[in-house]
Amino acid sequence: MSKKFVSRLDKWLHKEIISIILSCLILFLSTGIILGLPKALNFVSSNIVSANNISQNEAVLGAHVQLLITPTPTAIPSFQSMGLTPPSVSANAALVVDFKTGKDLYAKNPNLQVAIASTTKLMTALTALQYYRLDEVLTVPYIADIDGSLMGLEEGEKITFLNILYGLFLNSGNDAAYTLARDYPGGESAFVAKMNQNAKDWGLLHTNFENPAGFDNPYHFSSAYDLSQIATRVAENPVLPTIFGTKTITVTSEDGIIVHNLKNLNELLGKDGVIGMKTGTTPQAKENLIGLINKDNREILTVVLGSDYRFVDTKALIDWTYKNYKFF
């Protein structure tokens, strides 16, 4: 066998070996692709099905992923101040709260503990609503010792809880407040204790009650902030807004014999968007007014305590608030 022939044979074998190796490699890769294709198709199919039948958790996750890809715009605030100078008010403490957000729009000594007069009756009403039914008939107890603002209840009179609430808010009846307290299980002391328990449960740190009507007492006090929290609960009650928004009404005893002609003491009611709430006056507390205002489709709460001119102060705060703030 010649060297030339051996050389040609070596080259031919070399090519064949390389060809065989390449063929095996291609066959191996092809087999892997073919075997993996169903899984790949199933993965694609699963994602298509998931996209059409996405679960709540997946939707949330998808939202988070989307936020990473496309950041959301900065949230627009609910209101914006125009920078107008606030009014000067005679009140020792005052507060204006945006009812929608609960944020303060104006504050003067919001946590100052002061005498609060008949604004006390907001808590009296809420506490009574926890026990009495609106159609429940109460018997007026001994109330000859109660003076000040009255709705005209008579001892022994039978009258519904709902009618007493009207007297409590419109005439600011002290006799109404004490009827609710003295007819309560355990009497007046138990009722006042429940008022204080509510204050504690609701996180009111600057509030204490000694009576259900608001008579001056060194240990009977609240603050503008705490009263705004109580007033918010009153405003959210399904019954009370109709009552405190009433200008005049005539209610009677259950037998119709005793008639009570009631008139709201809130001089701003129906003006400047004022839809009601509660007045209060005593020598120590001076003039007080809590207002709920709905103007330009935006509700605010105003609290004026220890004022020389509660209606003037409240109107000034209302006017300034709606001029100074642009609401969204």
As given in the structure block, the two tokens for residue 217 are 């007492």
In the chain, which ranges are continuous DSSP H helix? 3-52, 56-69, 121-129, 161-169, 174-182, 187-201, 224-236, 240-244, 310-324
Closest CA to 323 of 26, 23, 83: 83
As given in the structure block, the two tokens for residue 295 are 């103007």
Say how many C-beta atoms besides its own lie within 10 A of residue 129's C-beta.
18
Residue 51: the pLDDT is: 34
Residue 241: the pLDDT is: 98
Task: Report yes or no: 166 and 121 within 8 Å, Cβ to Cβ.
Answer: no
pLDDT tens-digit readout, 266-279: 999 999 999 999 99
User: Cα dist. 254→134, 135, 152, 154, 184 in Å?
Assistant: 13, 10, 15, 12, 19
Domain 79-327: CATH superfamily, name plus number: DD-peptidase/beta-lactamase superfamily (3.40.710.10)
As given in the structure block, the two tokens for residue 130 are 């926890």
The CA distance from 155 to 259, in Å, is 14
Q: What is the pTM of this model?
A: 0.77
The CA distance from 174 to 151, in Å, is 8
pLDDT tens-digit readout, 24-80: 555 544 444 444 444 433 433 343 333 333 333 322 223 332 333 344 444 556 889
Query: What are phi and psi for residue 243, nearest 5 degrees?
Result: -70, -55
Residue 20: the pLDDT is: 57
Closest CA to 157 of 133, 181, 131, 183: 183
Residue 23: the pLDDT is: 56
Spans of all domains in the chain: 3-69, 79-327
Say how many C-beta atoms besides its own lie within 10 A of residue 232's C-beta.
15
